[in-house]
Structure 1
Amino acid sequence: MTTPLPRRITAGIAALAIAGLGLSACGDDSDSGSPSAGGTAPGAGKPECAQLESFGDLTGKTVSVYTSIVAPEDAAHKASYKVFEDCTGATVSYEGSQEFEAQLQVRAQAGNLPDIAYIPQPGLVKSLVEAGYVKEAPQSVSDNVDEFFGEDWKAYGTVDGKFYAAPLGANVKSFVWYSPKMFADNGWEVPTTWDDMMALSDTIAASGVKPWCAGIESGEATGWVLTDWLEDVMLREVGPDVYDQWVNHEIPFNDPQVAAALDTVGGVLKDENYVNGGIGGVTSIATTSFQEGGLPILKGECAMHRQASFYAAQWGEGVKVAEDGDVFAFYLPTENEDFGKPVLGGGEFVTAFSDRPEVQAFQTYLSSDVWANEKAKATPGGGWVSANKGLDIANLNSPIDQLSASILQDPDATFRFDGSDQMPSAVGAGTFWSEMTNWISGDSTSKVLDAIESSWPA
């Protein structure tokens, strides 16, 4: 899985630009109108091909796929398409680009869209739908999503009551990283409630170790780490319904509930007794890169670091990431059991610009449990997970991926997409980042929330 930060910067910009194009659909659907190409599918009779038989013989057809996932991560995606190609006879033409969002906009304007794109932001999907580019998902895809994903996931691919984009991969942000050995040596237990976690923080601080370490520096995106902190706490203090109202600006950014949540974050990150282990005091958080923020755990200089599943890639070679390893993670505990098990995260959505039979067949495959398990088996190095409930966790090779999948598949889990990625780019990739940086550097909660609220586009 690629680190999502560059996509966070550009996706909001692309979404805003495409929303203003007002162009009609440009995808090539000259062969559309029939759900089947006719003939007998090459994989007819094979269990793994059952869902694809109705599309007929697609030999000689090609489906073009455009994504932000590049080498070496793209190899696992390409390998996962083999079952589809064997079942249907069609070929998948894969193209990955680090300039994905900007180039997708260019291709939309030029009438040269791919058949399918993997889009990592619900707001961008919505903008493309409103611009008239996206084809509604076929019934087979909708049925798969109903069977294998939660309603919250389907909602992110739905616009004005119509379903367009099925979820693909996912990541979990509601994690706290720690050293299992350090915890065992000191008799510290992994907390299961927020109060337990704060009591543990006090115990660790009393031992002479700073319980928390953090870093938010990330170039032009400095501050995004704190937006995740606030989003996670919002879900735990006020629940998913109020979280949605906040993200959609149905309540103001400086609402008292938001202020209370940010003060809760401050109760951890602005406490000199708690931070910043192995690095410095509170103000060092702003100048420490997010990549380095948790590394003092390896030296026993801090005990906990809240960061997403993709942080597994930052620990370095030779570091064992497992429950019995050098580092691992636990679920960030909730504060209110009435809200179930809130999970903050991100993911990609399969968005189609053509409805030819081979394209609909590929959409169907990607939304199935068959593909999810093929993708897991094709990713031996780990770093990928899906919220697909048909995914056999045993097929995942990384312990942190297995933990992520178990959290996503938990029937009590309530998933919410990263809030800043859904807000207007001027806020979500602008003032929200910069004002959180100002906040950790000393500005008050009220000052920064008022500033963000005043920046919200009219």
Structure 2
Amino acid sequence: MRVSRRVLSTAVAAGLLVSAAGCGGDDGGGDETLPGGGALKGVKVEVAAKWTGPEEKNFREVLKAFEKKTGATVAYASTGENTDAFLGPRLQANQPPDVAILPQPGLMKQYAAKGSLKALGTDVTQQIDANFTPYWKELGSAEGKTYGVLIKAAYKSIMWYRPQVFSDAGVQPPATWADLVKAAGTVRDSGTTPFTLAAGPQDAWTLTDWFENVYLSQAGPDKYDQLAEHEIKWTDPSVAKALETLAEIWGKPDLFAGGVSQATKTKFDASVTEVFGQQKAAMVYGGDFAAANIGTTKSKVGTDAKVFAFPKAGDTAPAMLGGDIAVALKDGKGAMELMKFLASPEAGKIWAGLGGYLSPNKGVPPEAYADPVAKQLIAQLQQAGDAARYDMSDLTPAAFGGTPGKGMWEALRGFVQKPSDVKGTQAKLEAEAAKAYKS
């Protein structure tokens, strides 16, 4: 979700993920020379992204490597959190940056429809074809043309837990949904509340992530795509099955801290710190960005706070991402060469060695990552292969998938409060989706 990516930026800015700033040369191949290296000497390239703090610092290291390889000079501009507010006026004035990093596919498609983006050249798409599965190329495409590449990801198919509680209760990290339900009961019986649940009005994006992981696992990637495009309705039996599965946990208030009344007030930040700071529960849903919140407590990521893969609820092991997409707003050689570089394993390896980074680029191996949790997550992502998917709610119209108090967020909040009402929840989801897609 959009909120979660903001939290991810906070995670990196806080410096909470293990960093190895000196790794770039060893892991990234920083001294290698691109074909035609030096050919861009005297060329100036401007790239705009929302990143600040250490996240910006690490990206600048990647850009320095590009400068060294090509001879170009790169200027970085921070867009702030509202990327469209920064780029919109510059596009209207016909003075866009050469390259921009967009926070969601919807914005890329919006700009492509307006003619603001430049289709990527053959040499760039060859890098994409070599290093990404077809799904990620499709994600960066619109109307049959490829415009973008997902260069940085947030991994959203994990659960965080307190290993000491699991050990005391005699349970192992669950691999399947049935195992998760069983483990939750055992943890509860041992005297610890199993979960915190962030279902507050402004943070109900977490509920969409729960749903999407279960749905992807049960219905499979093809049906996931169809639902994301509203090619099938939310009244479909596959949606009912996912909701019924969620009710096995959401429908048992004694499994989460404070029950329903507390959960529907709980913010995401609090849901994490209640587990790892106040120790009110054993587990919490949150992507890799939850490390930021854990870092505000005395718990340490990797020891007091560990992760396990979101349990399989069906035949597919869910692997779901959010992330940032690079696009070219000018078709000059500098813009296209930078896009080519950002799509390459060389750029990804440098970035991975600096920490606070994940990529679906299959040319960046797990051993390139500095962060031990990142190594674990990237291995899960690469094992998922073609079944990995982008966050569904970020693929839908914002009115349905990205607005507090509306659409998917509020319908699932209502389901937490009345988990027996599967058909009513489906009807509400479908009515909201139909309205949003029509507009």
For this structure pair, what is the TM-score category when the shorter chain's length is used for normalisation? 0.7 to 0.9
Tell me the equivalent position of 2:321: 345
From 315, 318, 321, give the equivalent of 2:301. 321
Q: Does 1:333 align with 2:304?
A: no
Q: Which amino acid aligns with 1:76?
A: N
Q: Does 1:398 align with 2:371?
A: yes
Native 8 Å contact 2:7 2:292 kept in 1: no
Tell me the equivalent position of 1:79: 61
* Pairs aligned (count): 407
Structure 2 Cα separation of the partners of residues 113 and 435 of structure 1: 39
Structure 1 Cα separation of the partners of residues 167 and 149 of structure 2: 42
Structure 2 Cα separation of the partners of residues 370 and 446 of structure 1: 50
Structure 1 Cα separation of the partners of residues 140 and 294 of structure 2: 33
Greater Cα offset, 341-350 or 363-372: 341-350
- 1:372-451 matches, cutoff 5 A: 372-377=348-353, 379=354, 382-410=355-383, 412=385, 414-430=387-403, 431-442=407-418, 444-451=421-428
SS in structure 2 at match of 1:167: strand
Structure 2 Cα separation of the partners of residues 86 and 149 of structure 1: 25
Could you list the per-position Cα deviations for residues 247-282 of structure 1 after superposition, in whole angstroms to 9, with x for gaps in the alignment?
111111232221221222122123123112xxx112
Shift of 1:394: 2.8
Native 8 Å contact 1:321 1:399 kept in 2: no
Native 8 Å contact 1:310 1:383 kept in 2: no
Cα 1:449/1:6, change in 2 over 3 Å: farther
Structure 2 Cα separation of the partners of residues 132 and 412 of structure 1: 32
Tell me the equivalent position of 1:213: 196
Tell me the equivalent position of 1:248: 229
Identity among equivalent pairs (%): 31
Q: Which amino acid aligns with 2:363?
A: G
Q: CA RMSD of the aligned region, Å?
A: 2.3
Structure 2 Cα separation of the partners of residues 91 and 49 of structure 1: 17
Q: Does 1:297 align with 2:297?
A: no
SS in structure 1 at match of 2:97: coil
Structure 1 Cα separation of the partners of residues 4 and 123 of structure 2: 30
Native 8 Å contact 2:38 2:69 kept in 1: no
Shift of 1:102: 2.1
Considering Cα pairs closer than 8 Å and 6+ residues apart, tell me whether 1 or 2 has the greater RCO: 2
Native 8 Å contact 2:159 2:283 kept in 1: yes
From 275, 278, 281, give the equivalent of 2:259. 281
Native 8 Å contact 1:182 1:300 kept in 2: no
Native 8 Å contact 1:236 1:334 kept in 2: yes
From 279, 287, 291, give the equivalent of 1:312. 291
Q: Which amino acid aligns with 2:425?
A: V
Q: Which amino acid aligns with 1:306?
A: Y
Q: Does 1:454 align with 2:437?
A: no
Tell me the equivalent position of 1:142: 125
Shift of 1:362: 0.8
SS in structure 2 at match of 1:397: coil
Tell me the equivalent position of 1:122: 105
SS in structure 2 at match of 1:210: coil
Could you list the per-position Cα deviations for residues 138-158 of structure 1 after superposition, in whole angstroms to 9, with x for gaps in the alignment?
222212222222222111012
Cα 1:110/1:218, change in 2 over 3 Å: farther
Q: Is there any run of 5+ residues in structure 1 with no aligned partner, and where?
A: 9-46
Q: Which amino acid aligns with 2:266?
A: T
Cα 1:128/1:49, change in 2 over 3 Å: farther
SS in structure 2 at match of 1:73: helix
Shift of 1:55: 6.5
Cα 1:433/1:51, change in 2 over 3 Å: farther
Structure 1 Cα separation of the partners of residues 87 and 417 of structure 2: 37
Tell me the equivalent position of 2:248: 267
Native 8 Å contact 2:199 2:264 kept in 1: yes
